[in-house]
A and B are shown apart, each in its own frame.
Chain A
Amino acid sequence: MITWLRWAWRLLTSMRTALILLFLVALGSVPGSVLPQRGLTPEDVTKFYEENPGLAPWLDRFSMFDVFGAPWFAAIYLLLFVSLAGCVLPRAAQHYRAMRGRPPAAPRNLSRLPHTASVPGGTLALAEAELRRRRFRVNTGDGWVAAEKGYLRETGNLVFHLALLALLFAVGSGALFGYRGNVLVVEGDGFANTVAAYDKFSPGRFVDTESLKPFSFRLGDFTATYSTEPQRRGQPLDFSGKLSVREGGGQKTHDLRVNEPLEAGGAQVYLLGNGYAPTFRVTDGKGQVAFDGAVPFLPAEKGGFTSEGVIKVPDAQPAQLGFVGLFLPTTVTVGDSATSAFPAALNPTVRLFGFKGDLGLRSGAPQSVYQLNSDKMQMIKLPETRLAVGQSLTLPDGLGTVTFTGVKEWISLQITYDPGRFPALVSAALAVLGLVPALTVRRRRIWVRQTADGIDVGGLTRSEGGGGIEEEFESIVSSLRRSGEQESRELVKE
């Protein structure tokens, strides 16, 4: 049993296994980039299901829509990291001993080494001095000198691999102790960091959702700038949202942009998207204001930012009212049809389709705020007019009036708290720092033996690739020759 375990361990920690596991990780990542992934584009997964009803469930059985969270993917990379640890940790111990120890004694026969030379008249003392001058680690014995240099290669190699292990732990801890949430905020509205305030919230396994670090902010003005050049008309140039932030008693302002997230409460707040939230006032049949506020519309098209949204007025009397709206930021009318020619709100209009009846909100079933459930509703006949800001529409049958009161903008935000973020950065930086000497430094040994008429020098590099140590070896030998000659001249003088 123990021999079997030992065999398995040796197999797992061998370079060949590591190679195969590396290949498997690479291969396993491929479907994650080719197939739609739930974590990235859930709507594409749904589409894939509709288009391939036979194939999709089978792919799903192998976690193909969640490759990077799949058990088999975890199995590969955990095996890889066990293999890595099993290889690197003993090597680290070995390297530590080598660093503290001395270079091994010279082999009996130097002529078998890849680099050899004889220096007549050379002495061991001179060789030792020369090698020490070149910052070799030197060991001496009876009739020989052994020297070694380039320990930094193995040090770098170990630092690199250990840093990779640390990186894995950092990423893992970030996923367990961190959280991520999304929220949509309309100009003039605010956000306070509690779970309830999020539209979507995905905490790690060990996150205490009761005690998120408190901070809050209010969105002032949001500005989106678009190109007016003919060839790139409508291409977004800049997004900027003015936030006033409260955190721990202090207050500050922050200009939220795409590459400039807000840091608050140990979390980062990112600008992900933007859109229009037209504001409406609905006065019902009894003359009461039943609705007055902004309604976020979702962009349906990128070029002109035509947006769609739903206004739900459950408080309207005598009947509940619902509207589906089509918003055009820059309305251009050609004949009967109107389109939006530019994404900025230069000539905003909205076209409304009205419904009356039961919105279905009381049933308790969750509803999307962007969709109208018109099952129990009746269409109201409305004139085919587009409302400009300030214009109203009188509903038939004394149901009331709707006024298009203005245009606000909304931004969608992602709020991320990831405690593994900084450790991951440090590990990654260490990995690069270790990688450079691991690949460029050569570990080499020089041995010198006393002979009848001088010394023999032998050299060996254990690092593969990147050429040999010819140049350095030549240089050592020639300076030994020079100093040898000098010494013998001095001896002759005496």
Chain B
Amino acid sequence: MKVDQGLVELSDQLILGSLPVYTLAMLAFAVELAFRRTAAKAAVPAGAAVSGGAGASEGASAPGGVAVADADPESAAAAPRRAVNWGAFGVAFTVLGWAAHLGSIITRGAAADRWPWGNMYEFVVAICFAAVTAYLAFLVRHPVRHLGVFVMVPTILGLGIALRYLYVQAGPVVPALKSYWIAIHVSAAIIASGMFILAGVIGILQLMRWRYDGRTGAGKPVGFTAITRTLDLDQLERIAHRAIVFAFPIWTFAVIAGALWADRAWGRYWGWDPKETWSFITWIAYAAYLHSRATAGWKGRRSTIIQLVACACLLFNLVGVNVFISGLHSYADL
């Protein structure tokens, strides 16, 4: 089995190309968010509805009714001028970067003639891809465009870390990974992880928003939390919950598919290997989140914190277990 070097180079160039495109998307989204903030400020005197500002571009469901106390007359004056639809640029760049990202994954798989998630580099690249895909998928039916910057930042970080620290040459995998189960088990884990990470990002925004509300209420300086001032808490909560509800069965399936594969490859379906243990812990934590939403007194901030703990478990499982603990899943090629 020979690795096609031309395809390997193409794959590397595509992923390197997707990074600046994602960065442009992030900048465009950031500008949109900034304008949106001024629009919201301008709207304060007029009441709940946003009227004509750049932030209203998402239509009726945009959370315009955010009361901001410290209306700034300068930016308020600038708000009605609607020059560029930055958000649309952001989406366009995101789609472009996403296409290059997808191309990189496909060419890498084609180069080595196998599923392109055989080591840590490929896995992290695929999870970033899943997170962007989840965002784009949500974009089709939900007004989440203004969250773009919060998706782009972790994606760019993830890709940067993958390229800088985890990169390995494309090549064949060890015999244990030669199974059709890699397509089923790892793909399911990647899709679920992408959704969970999206939910985690939203959970952080929720916490920041609560803090912002608390601080403005107490008249304290809001600091960095101000970037969340135009976000709608209910909507954030809904999207995070929906993402988790979508991802949880897929994660369950990924764990079960992993057990089936373990049954074929290692002679037992469950053996408390560190990766298995942490995927179980992650599963339990998300189950706790779902239960907490049905428990009086736990909904809201508490359930969001549980969600974030679960997300931390997930990230530790995806990366930390391979880096810090040795076990049967040590395919990281680090």
Q: A464 and B174: CB pair below 8 A?
A: no
> Which residue of chain B has its CB nearest to the CB of A30?
B281
CA distance A15 to B271 in the complex (A): 29
CA distance A221 to B129 in the complex (A): 44
Query: Which residues in A have their C-beta under 8 angstroms from that of B1?
Result: 237
Query: Which residues in A have their C-beta under 8 angstroms from that of B259?
Result: 428
Contact of A19 among B174, B176, B178, B292 (CB under 8 A): B292
Q: A15 and B249: CB pair below 8 A?
A: no
Tell whether A261 pairs with B264 under 8 Å between CB atoms, given A429-B256, A439-B248.
Answer: yes
A233 to chain B, nearest CB (A): 11
Q: Does B242 contact A (CB under 8 A)?
A: yes
> What 1/0 mask marks residues of chain A from 231 to 256 whose CB sits below 8 Å from any chain B CB?
11001111100000000000000000
Query: Which residues in A have their C-beta under 8 angstroms from that of B267?
Result: 180, 261, 268, 270, 272, 414-416
Tell whether A26 pairs with B284 under 8 Å between CB atoms, given A32-B277, A464-B293.
Answer: yes
Query: Which residues in B have their C-beta under 8 angstroms from that of A424?
Result: 269
Q: A421 and B263: CB pair below 8 A?
A: yes
> What 1/0 mask marks residues of chain A from 331 to 371 whose CB sits below 8 Å from any chain B CB?
00000000000000000000000000000000000000000
Q: Does B319 contact A (CB under 8 A)?
A: no
Q: Does A78 contact B (CB under 8 A)?
A: no
> Which residue of chain B has its CB nearest to the CB of A15?
B295
Contact of B174 among A37, A236, A416, A432 (CB under 8 A): A236
Contact of B264 among A40, A229, A259, A415 (CB under 8 A): A259
> What 1/0 mask marks residues of chain B from 283 to 298 whose CB sits below 8 Å from any chain A CB?
0110110111111001
CA distance A439 to B266 in the complex (A): 33
Tell whether A40 pairs with B271 under 8 Å between CB atoms, given A259-B179, A440-B245.
Answer: yes
Q: Does B138 contact A (CB under 8 A)?
A: no
Q: A467 and B252: CB pair below 8 A?
A: no
Q: A19 and B298: CB pair below 8 A?
A: yes
Q: Does B82 contact A (CB under 8 A)?
A: no
Q: A40 and B273: CB pair below 8 A?
A: yes
Q: Does B301 contact A (CB under 8 A)?
A: no
Q: B252 and A435: CB pair below 8 A?
A: yes
CA distance A29 to B175 in the complex (A): 29
CA distance A34 to B171 in the complex (A): 31
A52 to chain B, nearest CB (A): 17
Contact of B268 among A32, A260, A416 (CB under 8 A): A416
Q: Does A227 contact B (CB under 8 A)?
A: yes
> Which residue of chain A has its CB nearest to the CB of B250?
A432
B241, B248, B268, B274: residue with the most chain A Cβ atoms closer than 10 Å: B268
Q: Does A23 contact B (CB under 8 A)?
A: yes
CA distance A23 to B290 in the complex (A): 13
Q: A260 and B288: CB pair below 8 A?
A: no
CA distance A66 to B327 in the complex (A): 16
CA distance A429 to B321 in the complex (A): 27
Contact of A238 among B169, B175, B242 (CB under 8 A): B175
Query: Which residues in A have their C-beta under 8 angstroms from that of B271?
Result: 39-40
Query: Which residues in B have their C-beta under 8 angstroms from that of A260?
Result: 264
CA distance A171 to B272 in the complex (A): 13
Q: Does A425 contact B (CB under 8 A)?
A: yes
CA distance A415 to B267 in the complex (A): 7
Q: Does A131 contact B (CB under 8 A)?
A: no
> Which residue of chain A has its CB nearest to the CB of B274?
A33
Q: Does A466 contact B (CB under 8 A)?
A: yes
> What 1/0 mask marks residues of chain A from 25 to 45 whose CB sits below 8 Å from any chain B CB?
110011011100101100000
> What 1/0 mask marks residues of chain A from 424 to 454 whose CB sits below 8 Å from any chain B CB?
1100110110011001100000000000000
Number of interface residues of A (CB under 8 A): 56
Query: Which residues in A have their C-beta under 8 angstroms from that of B241?
Result: 465-466
Contact of A22 among B169, B261, B272, B288 (CB under 8 A): B288
Query: Which residues in A have their C-beta under 8 angstroms from that of B273?
Result: 40
Q: Does A258 contact B (CB under 8 A)?
A: yes
A143 to chain B, nearest CB (A): 34
Q: A171 and B270: CB pair below 8 A?
A: yes
A239 to chain B, nearest CB (A): 5
Q: Does A187 contact B (CB under 8 A)?
A: no
Contact of B281 among A29, A180, A270 (CB under 8 A): A29
B192 to chain A, nearest CB (A): 12
Query: Which residues in A have their C-beta under 8 angstroms from that of B265?
Result: 258-259, 270
Q: Does B136 contact A (CB under 8 A)?
A: no
CA distance A15 to B298 in the complex (A): 11
B310 to chain A, nearest CB (A): 9
B240 to chain A, nearest CB (A): 10
Q: A432 and B253: CB pair below 8 A?
A: yes
Contact of B280 among A15, A29, A231, A464 (CB under 8 A): A29
B273 to chain A, nearest CB (A): 7
> Which residue of chain A has its CB nearest to the CB of B176?
A258
Q: Does A154 contact B (CB under 8 A)?
A: no
B307 to chain A, nearest CB (A): 12
Tell whether A232 pairs with B291 under 8 Å between CB atoms, given A25-B284, A40-B273.
Answer: no
Q: Does A257 contact B (CB under 8 A)?
A: yes
> Which residue of chain A has its CB nearest to the CB of B280?
A29
Q: List 26 A-B contacts (CB under 8 A).
A: A15-B291, A18-B291, A19-B288, A19-B292, A19-B295, A19-B298, A26-B280, A26-B285, A29-B277, A29-B280, A33-B325, A39-B271, A171-B270, A180-B267, A231-B171, A238-B175, A259-B179, A259-B181, A259-B264, A416-B268, A418-B268, A425-B269, A428-B259, A429-B256, A431-B256, A466-B242
3 A-B pairs with the lowest CB-CB distances in the bound complex, closest first? A270-B267, A33-B277, A259-B179
Known pairs A37-B272, A466-B242. 13 more at Cβ < 8 A? A19-B291, A19-B292, A26-B313, A33-B277, A231-B171, A232-B172, A237-B1, A259-B261, A259-B264, A428-B256, A431-B252, A436-B249, A467-B242
Residues of A within 8 A of B (CB): 15-16, 18-19, 22-23, 25-26, 29-30, 32-34, 37, 39-40, 67-68, 171, 180, 227, 229, 231-232, 235-239, 257-261, 268, 270, 272, 414-416, 418, 421, 424-425, 428-429, 431-432, 435-436, 439-440, 464-467
